[in-house]
Chain A
Amino acid sequence: MGISRRQFLGFLGAAAGTTAVSVKKSEAAANKEFKGYPGSFGVLHDTTRCIGCRKCEQACNKVNELPLPKIPFDDLSVLNTKRRTQQDAYTVVNRFVENNEGQPVFVKSQCNHCLEPACASACFVKALRKVKTGAVIYDASLCVGCRYCMIACPFNIPAYEYNNPLTPRIMKCTMCHPRIEKGLIPGCVESCPKEALTFGPREKLLKTARQRIEKYPDKYIDYIYGESEMGGTSWLYLSGRPFKEIGMREDLGIQPAATFTSGPLATVPVIVGLWPVLLTGIYAISKRKEKISEEERIEAVSRSVAVAGEVMKAKLAALKDTMTKEKEAAINLEVRRALEEAAKKSESEQQAESAKDEPSDTSKEDK
């Protein structure tokens, strides 16, 4: 499992043109946990030590060759307003509420380099990937600029070059991945005068953090932020104040972002497999219904034709019957009439005989 997961993350940024690695969608939902690449690095940020000097911001600006800001780094008035990471500032320090001793709390923010990054899981061209040093790095040569990584990031870290019309990039902390590969430590860590930042293997940093909490239980909240947030991050935080008071969300949960979308992704192949069967089935049923209703129609027509024939025959017979009867009746009537007429005639003849001299009668008969 560990290996396949590692492969999955490793291949996230596989070179252009290689065949797609089909990811087992069920992995994320399985009862398994990825605790980061063994020996991968992280940074522990002890906010109780931070003095808000912005030296880390300055070092970051320098090693990443970002444009110099209008307000110089030694001007601490920028701390009066809350800031977030920007396309020209991979890291920013913010000042928060007073702590127990009446001192302000400073918190540095930058990419937390999640163990299972939301941005890498969201990227549809594998331009973002988690590498074995622990860094989440970005490849501008693949990026389309859709900004779905920015939607996905629970810490609102990635920034975008909105004013670059044709070749905008996603800009974010790289954990100084190029420096780490050269055996150097991140610029911000190197520049911190108060050792508020400690670079090292994440496992070791977790131990260090626990030791500090144990040693100074009054100084620290008994919690290491980043140990399990969103499945764990390579950056870890210690604080003397509740984390939500220093601008860090406590409601993110411990699930890696990939688990939120593994379900929907897993339904894709099922629909591809099932829908053709379902739809062809519906088609077949509707076709069959059509065929049956057509057959029934033909049958009904022929039946009604047959029935109509019978009825017609009966009707005809009845008609014939009545016609013959009528004919007979007519004949009888005629016969009767003829008889009556004959009777009348003989009667009138008798009358004529009895009154032969009346001429008017003779003229009537002529008509």
Chain B
Amino acid sequence: MSQETARVNESIFTPFNVISGIIIIAGLIVTVLRFTKGLGAVTNLDNNNPWGIWIGFDLLCGVALAAGGFVTSAACYIFGLKRYHSAVRPAILTAFLGYALVVLALHYDVGRPWRLPYPIFISQGTTSLLFEVALCVFLYLSVLFIEYSPAALEWLGLKKIRSMIVKLTLVLTIFGVILSTLHQSSLGALFMIAPSKLHPLWYSNYLMVYFFVSSIFAGLSMVIFEGTLAHRYFHHKMDETHLKESKDVAFGFGKAASFVMMGYVGIKLIGISIDNNWHYLTTGWGVWYLFELIGFVALPAFIYAIAVREKNLRLVQSASLISIIGVVLNRFNISLVAFNWQLPSAERYFPSWSEIVISLFVVTLGIVVYRFIVTRMPIFYEHPDYQHDN
């Protein structure tokens, strides 16, 4: 409490506020340009490269890195790993904000954003994997909102609605896992329609499995990484249970991530064998592929294993960061780098400054809202009124 009052007395020009303020202003300027001059004025997209980082980063990475929500709630409520209970709320909050921002970012990218509900309510293109993604993201965003709402309702003191929603926890968790399985994998399957454009090393009939499995360790790593940052900046908000369990969460999730990543490397190799793509590994693309698979999946998996064995928290946290970069790299490779690989380099895509500004803008908005919520609502601690009914 004392720290909160101290903050009020501080100048509002803290480094955080200044940097995020600049990014938000820049973002608003680009927003105006986007909706007055069109995508052509602010992006480097063209007819050969219709998808840029607003899809490759904001959508694909945003959804993958928000997987911590379904992974953590499944671990706690379905698999019965109760000792991770204190990690559920932060993970659900991040997932909810992540998905909300994914949808926000889509408003910039699509031509007529007010028509985003069309595939669900007006004209259902059921033959499209994008339809499947749209439906699941819409439903899952709603599920995440409900899953997150008890924290807000406790803050607002609405006990009755809160206790009704808490009773839905298991059903919502199962629903969330189903929806996540479907759209995490479908995001990968989106690219299966274009085997002639995606490099054979990244194109696979297993793309959907790869996307789903990598979303699991993306989610696990995100929970660890986010926990690291939260401890640094919101330590005073955490209750005893949270502080006591957080080490367990890091080691437990690190161990799980290590296993899943090893399995992922295994199924990637199976994919190469089945398509007999070994000969591509000796090309430049092959080197880039191995850089991604060995440097950013196998290596962090190994680091996780060592760190968990030696109970080295710092090392687990480093591994989580490398894993997150690995997932981002993978999504970039599939949607941008290895996509249209046969086009001459002059016709390839590279993001413009404005595109990067909007991506940063969206991430910054997420951090600002996250900070607003965790400093007010019971995210890192249990509300004293509800301590015993979880």
Contacts and interface: CB of A to CB of B under 8 A. Distances in A.
Interface of A: 8, 12, 14, 16-17, 20-23, 84-87, 118, 120-127, 142-148, 150-152, 154, 156, 158-169, 249, 251-253, 257-258, 260-261, 263-265, 267-268, 271-272, 275-276, 279-280, 282-283, 286-287, 289-290
Contacts of B48: 84, 156
Nearest to A119: B193
Contact of B182 (A20, A164, A271): A271
Contacts of B37: 163, 165
B162 to A, nearest CB: 23
A143 B112 contact: yes
Contact of A265 (B38, B46, B127): B127
B291 interface: no
Given A145-B111, A165-B37, A275-B181, A154 B194 contact: yes
A160 B47 contact: yes
Interface in B307-360: none
A109 to B, nearest CB: 13
Interface string B172-184: 0010011001100
A154 B196 contact: yes
A255 B114 CA distance: 35
B195 A260 contact: yes
A331 to B, nearest CB: 58
B155 interface: no
B94 to A, nearest CB: 22
Given A84-B48, A142-B118, A280 B174 contact: yes
Given A125-B125, A126-B124, A165 B110 contact: no
Contacts of A279: 74, 78, 174, 177-178
Interface stretch (B8-16, B130-138, B216-224, B225-233): B130-138
Given A17-B122, A150-B47, A12 B193 contact: no
B193 A152 contact: yes
B189 A261 contact: yes
Contacts of A22: 126
B110 A276 contact: no
Interface string B100-142: 0000000001111001101100111111111110100000000
A23 B182 contact: no
A165 B38 contact: yes
Interface string B39-82: 11101011110110000000000000000000000100111100
Given A163-B40, A286-B79, A264 B185 contact: yes
Contacts of B129: 122, 261, 264-265
B366 to A, nearest CB: 23
B2 interface: no
A86 B47 contact: yes
B299 interface: no
Contacts of A249: 196
A148 B186 CA distance: 14
Interface of B: 34-41, 43, 45-48, 50-51, 74, 77-80, 109-112, 115-116, 118-119, 122-132, 134, 170, 174, 177-178, 181-182, 185-186, 189-197, 205, 207-208
Given A122-B128, A125-B118, A287-B80, A160 B111 contact: yes
A271 B181 contact: yes
Nearest to A8: B127
Nearest to B77: A283
Nearest to A264: B189
A108 B111 CA distance: 29
B174 A20 contact: no
A21 B191 CA distance: 24
Contacts of A164: 38, 111
Interface centre among A16, A85, A151 (most CB of B within 10 A): A151
A146 B130 contact: yes
B352 to A, nearest CB: 12
Contacts of B43: 162
B193 A260 contact: yes
Summarize A's interface: helix, strand, loop or mixed.
loop
B173 to A, nearest CB: 8
A227 to B, nearest CB: 18
Contacts of B177: 275, 279
B34 A165 contact: yes
Given A122-B130, A124-B131, A165-B37, A151 B51 contact: yes
Contact of B174 (A16, A127, A276): A276
A125 B192 contact: no
28 contacts: A8-B127, A12-B125, A14-B123, A123-B128, A124-B124, A124-B128, A146-B111, A147-B51, A147-B111, A151-B197, A152-B193, A154-B194, A154-B196, A162-B39, A162-B43, A163-B37, A165-B39, A166-B111, A166-B112, A167-B112, A249-B196, A252-B196, A261-B127, A264-B129, A265-B189, A275-B177, A283-B170, A290-B80
Interface centre among B170, B185, B192, B197 (most CB of A within 10 A): B192
A267 B193 CA distance: 16
Contacts of A147: 50-51, 110-111
Given A145-B112, A268-B132, A166 B35 contact: yes
A267 B125 CA distance: 17
Contact of A16 (B122, B126, B127): B122
Contacts of A276: 174, 178
Given A120-B127, A126-B125, 4 more contacts: A118-B193, A124-B124, A142-B118, A166-B112
A169 to B, nearest CB: 8
Contact of B194 (A144, A152, A168, A253): A152
A151 B127 CA distance: 15
Contacts of A156: 47-48
B337 to A, nearest CB: 15
Contacts of B186: 264, 268
Contact of A286 (B78, B116, B207): B78
Given A143-B112, A282-B79, A289-B80, A265 B132 contact: yes
A124 B125 contact: yes
Given A125-B125, A261-B129, A151 B50 contact: yes
A168 B126 contact: no
A160 B50 contact: yes
Given A148-B190, A264-B192, A12 B127 contact: yes
Contacts of A158: 47
Nearest to B343: A156
B111 A143 contact: yes
Contacts of A160: 39, 47, 50, 111
B111 A167 contact: yes
A150 B80 contact: no
